[in-house]
Amino acid sequence: MNIERRSTGSRRASAALVSRAERLCHDQNLRFTPMRRRVLAELAASPEPLTAYDLADRVREEKRVAPVTVYRALEFLLDAKLIHRIVIRNAYTACDHAPHHDATPVFLVCTRCGTVEEVPSEAFQRDLSETIAEAGFRPKSRVFEIEGECAKCHAAP
């Protein structure tokens, strides 16, 4: 099974990701405001997930902003499926899969460098879904997050 990798290392992708988001919002009649753009750009430029307070600090360098404003932007971006929340980090990361796959991805979170890789999970979820269906459980949302050491860090000294 092959794996799509998030190019977390490349900051050049940030501009592309933001303009893609802009098109996507325009097509869906969603308002891609300066604040939302700014928050997404910061996330897209960061190799690791950022907390709401991290984001507030970064945005604040050019304009005073309260955490709640960042939370509102994050909520919009989550709804638009432009970003993900990494629950085990209480942090947020841009999604560069477009259009977004349906199944909730699995996130591989490196304990050394902090990067997050997003892995599609269709195959696993098929099996899991059967088991869950047998239990009569109706899933609405899922969190699959794995902490460990990424390939790069493992190779490093």
Q: Which does 113 bind (CB under 5 to 8 A by kind): Zn ion, a second copy, DNA, none?
A: Zn ion
Using CB under 8 A as the binding rule, whether residue 78 contacts a second copy is answered as no
Pairing of strands 116-119, 106-110: antiparallel
Q: Is the Cβ–Cβ distance between 59 and 39 less than 8 Å?
A: yes
- Least CB distance to Zn ion at residue 96 (A): 7
* 63: contact with DNA by CB under 7 A: yes
Q: Which structure tokens are listed for 152?
A: 């790069």
The one-letter amino acid code at 33 reads T
Q: Return phi, psi of residue 51, to 5°.
A: -80, 165
Q: For residue 56, give the amino acid letter.
A: A
Cβ at position 92, least distance to DNA in Å: 8
Q: How many residues does the chain have?
A: 157
For the bound state, the minimum distance from the C-beta of residue 33 to a second copy, rounded and expressed in Å, comes to 29
Which positions lie near DNA, rule CB under 7 A? 1, 30-31, 33-36, 51-54, 63-69, 71-73, 76, 90-91
